[in-house]
Amino acid sequence: MRKVFMFLGVLLVFAFTSKAQQVSGVVKDEQGKGVEKATISLLLKKDSSVIKFSVSGATGKYSFSSVPAGEYLVSTSYVGYVPKRSSSFQVSGNENVTVPDIVVERTTSSMAGVTVTSKKPIVEVKADKTVLNIEGTINAIGNDALELLRKSPGVVVDKDDNISLMGKNGVKVYIDGKPSPLSGTDLSNYLKSIQSSQVESIELITNPSAKYDAAGNAGIINIKFKKNKAFGTNGSVNAGYNIGTYPKYNAGVNFNNRNKIVNLFGSYNYNDSKQENIFNLNRTIGDTAFESSRTMPFKNKSHNFKAGADFYIDKKNTFGVLVNGNFSDGSMNGDNINNIIYRPTNTLTKVLKANNTNDMNRKNVNFNLNYRFADTAGHELNMDLDYGLFRLNNNQLQPNYYYAPDGTTLLNKTIYRFLSPSTIDLYTFKTDYEQNFKKGRLGIGAKFSVVNTDNNFKRYDVSQLAPSEIKTLDVPKSNEFDYKENINAVYVNYNRQLKGKMIQFGVRMENTVSSGNSYGLNNDGSVNKGSKQTFKRNYTDLFPSAAITFNKNPMNQWGLSYSRRIDRPAYQDLNPFEFKLDEYSYKKGNVNLKPQYTNVFSLTNTYKFKLTTSLTYSHINDMFAQIVDTTEQSKSFITTENLAKSDVYAVNISYPFMYKTYTAFVNLSGNYSKYKADFGGGNRVVNLDAASFNIYMQHSYKFGKKREWTAEVSGWYNSPMVWQGFFKSKSMWTVDAGMQKTIFKGKGTFKLSVSDIFHSLKFDGHSDFAGQYTQANGSFESRQLKASLVWRFGSSTVKAARQRKDASEDEKKRTQSSGGGGIGASNK
């Protein structure tokens, strides 16, 4: 941490000792009339890298303020005109510079349409979020959404597929701007069914404003799907093949038809995969040790679809309808061998073989109606009405065969069948309104959501498997848990550009009403209403947020921000019923689990639109922690408890680099955490300090006569870390490499890559709590050869008038959202 503060101090001294001046000029057409709303770029002469953007005014005039000494040139572009650059000029730092008038000429080709081609940077760092553009990276092919998160800067996915961001585990996952109701295993399985070919970008939002839900103490991860915005009829077809231990296939198609009145769009993606997972778990409780090794092939077939329409009623009003869904069928077959050892003499007493199977079926369909009003006076109204359904089914066979130490003499056996269907229904209405107010932008809104969850769990004792299965319901070990959560929210948010600074502040109020009912079952499997255990909660919280960006010198901007966040318990963590994992371990919920609250303070510096450094402090009350406790001397159970508190100090440094056709991005994030809790004294006390860091790097290089080839190398490293205050893990790292070639006259792209070249992506860690020592390690099929082919068809033109309007609006939004900063602009 000391070195980080020294580094920031050097930046600060440099910022205050450097001199900067103004560069201005005028863009004219051939008749000498000023060209309004042309895009102006200030470039460094030595490598043509973009330093800053501007837009010309009504008279064609533009200006760049606070330009440091150096040699520059100006580039201008505007639809219907030939792009043009000025001659180079010198900024001495002692006086303002006026660039000679730039006269642009109209293109000689027909202006009925113009083909738009652009490439986004792989990673964009903005004031409130980091954006990973999946379409721009080669090494993302063949991955599912969970693997994409694993490769994202500052994101860590642990051995149980739990997600953390910047050292904090309370991450809320959004899909296309809407929060997912899934969590835990259900969420990870859903993310595994989403292919990278569907994903446009991943947004890591670490400082959400009051407009966003307050849930997510680490922030929000928003996975955005692709949507074609071009006019005419167009689309693409893609296919991919991966091979590691097992072959994998994926394919998809998307279609779009757009005119002035309506935009019709749709897509379909299919994935067929089988992946090997290896997991070893050693537990020591009292005088007994359990040494377990598992090989778990996971098969999955998934279908993802989307269909919708946007109706442009007039220039101000747009109405849309959208249906999307995901159907997947998966199966997990585990070959599990568990050696049971008497520790005092280190003697093998028996061998447990539990080769279980789990068939999983998941269905998700979402319906959306949306309306947007926007006029030229700055008034904007957005309304969304959503309904989503999730249907989850698990059918697990758990045979347990106990053998003598020779491994062949059967001592006894117990066989179980678990059936656990779940239904989730989500209803949401949201409205957001914005308008210009007091020389700034005022936003107000409201959201009402209801989630109904019904979970049924049946455990059967199986007396015969073949020729036909004979099973009896174990009534005391079966359960029905129904959970309902209603969240009502209103917010107000305001931002304004003052002289030399941008301010933003807001507050969100959320009222949460939740209830849970746990029932036993009757002998016939029906719900026993007379055995109800229930709990209810009703609480209201305020979640303020504020930020100030000092942008008087755009080349060296500083920002301060604060926000308060909440994480509510997931329904799986509240169910008090005991779920058997194997003969010696089970999982149970905790009805006393309270929400965790986080106060986040952040300081950010953006230097020359490239080097971005942030320091963050988070104080978490009642932090969630998944602990492994002991019972009955030799058995263990997993539950979630509230730690008393946790403090997390984090630093993040990112830097993009571009020289001609070579681009690179480096991100370094580190955190220091303090955990404190007392669950009964003795070996049940947690008082732990932990530090860790993450490095993410990506390099790409274009070559060939027409720059049709691209090579890319990317990788990341996670240092040893502590997960949720208990589990200490060792370091992990990986390197990917790939090539890409543009084919079919620019209509196609072929990609070839190898993931985890050195097969280093393996986890290893341990925990020591309440008299139980646990060590876990394993790996998955991370090293794969991946190939992908994409062919684009149809029109790629956007009418000139529409493109000018969209470009102007995009530039306005970009400038407002970043306060003039953000490295994305410098990499276009």
Contacts of 346 (CB under 8 A, 6+ apart): none
- The neighbouring-strand residues paired with 537 are 514
Nearest to residue 588, comparing CAs of 596, 598, 580, 578? 578
Alpha-carbon Rg for the chain in angstroms: 29
> Residue 641: what pLDDT?
78
- The neighbouring-strand residues paired with 155 are 165
Nearest to residue 628, comparing CAs of 778, 769, 777, 776? 769
pLDDT along the chain (828 residues), means of 10: 41 39 86 83 78 77 80 83 85 81 72 46 64 72 74 70 71 81 73 78 83 82 76 87 94 88 91 92 87 90 93 92 94 88 93 90 94 90 95 91 93 92 94 92 95 92 89 91 94 90 92 92 91 90 92 83 89 69 67 88 85 90 73 64 81 86 89 73 67 90 88 92 76 93 89 94 84 86 93 65 41 37 32
Residue 48 has, within 13 A of its CA and on its CB side, a CA count of: 9
Contacts of 533 (CB under 8 A, 6+ apart): 517, 518, 519, 576, 591
Tokens 């300081």 appear where? Answer: 603
Whole-number Å distance between alpha carbons of 141 and 810: 28
Contacts of 726 (CB under 8 A, 6+ apart): 625, 626, 627, 628, 686, 767, 769
Residue 375 near residue 316, CB atoms below 8 Å: yes
Three state DSSP letters for 88-100: CEEECCCCCEECC
Whole-number Å distance between alpha carbons of 465 and 575: 31
Helices (H) and strands (E) in the chain, counts: 5, 52
> Residue 110: what pLDDT?
42
Tokens 């308008």 appear where? Answer: 435
Phi, then psi, of 301 in degrees rounded to 5 = -125, 125
In order of 173, 179, 443, 527, 599, the CA distances from 212 in angstroms are 12, 10, 12, 38, 16
Q: Angle at the Cα of 278 (from 275 to 281), degrees rounded to 5?
A: 150
Tell me which amino acid residue 527 is.
V
Burial tier of 230 (Cβ tally within 10 Å: 0-12, 13-18, 19+)? buried
Contacts of 196 (CB under 8 A, 6+ apart): 134, 140, 141, 142, 143, 144, 145, 147, 148
Whole-number Å distance between alpha carbons of 208 and 171: 12
DSSP secondary structure letter of residue 570: P
- The neighbouring-strand residues paired with 455 are 422, 481
DSSP string, 632-690: TTTEEEEEEEE-SEEEEEEEEEEEEEEETTEEEEEEEEEEEEEEEEESSSGGGEEEEEE
Whole-number Å distance between alpha carbons of 694 and 689: 18
Sheet strands (E) in 404-421 = 410-419
Nearest to residue 386, comparing CAs of 163, 174, 131? 174
Nearest to residue 122, comparing CAs of 520, 525, 665? 665
Whole-number Å distance between alpha carbons of 242 and 786: 4
Residue 229 near residue 205, CB atoms below 8 Å: no
Residue 521 near residue 472, CB atoms below 8 Å: no
> Residue 2: what pLDDT?
45
User: Is it true that the peptide bond before 467 is cis, omega within 30 degrees of 0?
Assistant: yes
Nearest to residue 173, comparing CAs of 136, 224, 226, 130? 224
Please report, to the nearest 10 degrees, the dihedral formed by the alpha carbons of residues 721, 725, 726, 727 taken in order: -20
Q: Which tokens sit at 335?
A: 């070959």
DSSP secondary structure letter of residue 807: H
Residue 20 near residue 54, CB atoms below 8 Å: no
Whole-number Å distance between alpha carbons of 756 and 713: 11
H or E element at residue 808: helix 800-818
Q: Which tokens sit at 699?
A: 């390099």
Q: What is the per-residue burial (b if ≥16 Cβ within 10 Å, else e) of 723-749? A: bbbbbebeebebbbbbebebeeeeebb
Whole-number Å distance between alpha carbons of 668 and 693: 7
In order of 162, 222, 402, 516, 564, the CA distances from 185 in angstroms are 8, 19, 29, 20, 27
Phi, then psi, of 128 in degrees rounded to 5 = -115, -5
Whole-number Å distance between alpha carbons of 273 and 250: 8
